[in-house]
Amino acid sequence: MGRLDGKVAIVTGAAHGDQRAALGSHFAKALATEGAKVTVADMKDCSSVADEIAQAGGTALPLRVDVRDEQSIKDMVSATVKRFGRLDILVNNAAIGSNIPPVSIGQLAVSEWDELMAVNVRGPFLCAKAAIPEMRRNGYGKIVNVGSSTMVSGLPNRLHYVTAKGAILAMTRSMARELGPDGIRVNTIAYGLIMSPQSEHEFAEDPVRHKAYLSHRSMPVDIYPRDIVGTLVFLVSCDSDAMTGQFVNVDSGGVFV
């Protein structure tokens, strides 16, 4: 038996693609492996992720969803409940990642700020807003908001990204207080730089930079998606039922919270 047998989950930002999307697909497959039926949602086509889940014996529903749009999110939740009968887990993973081009505060355009906030802050809010009524019906639910270690350490020249991730932590804590009486747990999972083909190439070209980066970690090792998924499964399973409003950082000891 899996730890999530009988549960239904939504994972946003779950298509194959860049670092964030690649992590979302790993999240979705990990939940399916533990027995959950999973809606894999993204602005990109998620059918390949759903096919991988099905080939491994799991069940998945691929949906194209724009987390900036409230109706799109409502339709995602409705389609999930229509297909699977309930909703227990929401993983708010969709976001514009920290690999955006660096820009100083003085050069950061209002349009860039607004675009990132629409995805990284309004998106998780709208997804939670749509999912909560279904979780309340069950008297139980798990919401995991995906943060970043940069909201603790700070990251220069990406003010909008770091500010949005700080908002995610504040959102988590406020939601946990409000939704606790309904049996809905809300936590944040965060992580440091995850290795991708791009970062592996860049570090191979500049091993001195790679060594310097690792020197900031208590355990000077690279992090891969497989290193994150176990923590996520814990946070959405009954093993963490006594936890809410918490921030769990997975970065080999780069920052302490």
- DSSP character string of 52-93: HHHHTT-EEEEEE--TT-HHHHHHHHHHHHHHHS---EEEE-
Q: For tokens 């946070």, what's the residue?
A: 235
Please state, in angstroms and as integers, the Cα–Cα distance from residue 60 to each residue in 25, 92, 127, 158, 212, following that order.
11, 17, 18, 35, 41
What is the set of active-site residues?
161
Structure tokens at 76: 């995602």
Looking at 18-58, list the stretches that DSSP marks H as alpha helix, in order from N- to C-terminal side: 19-33, 47-55
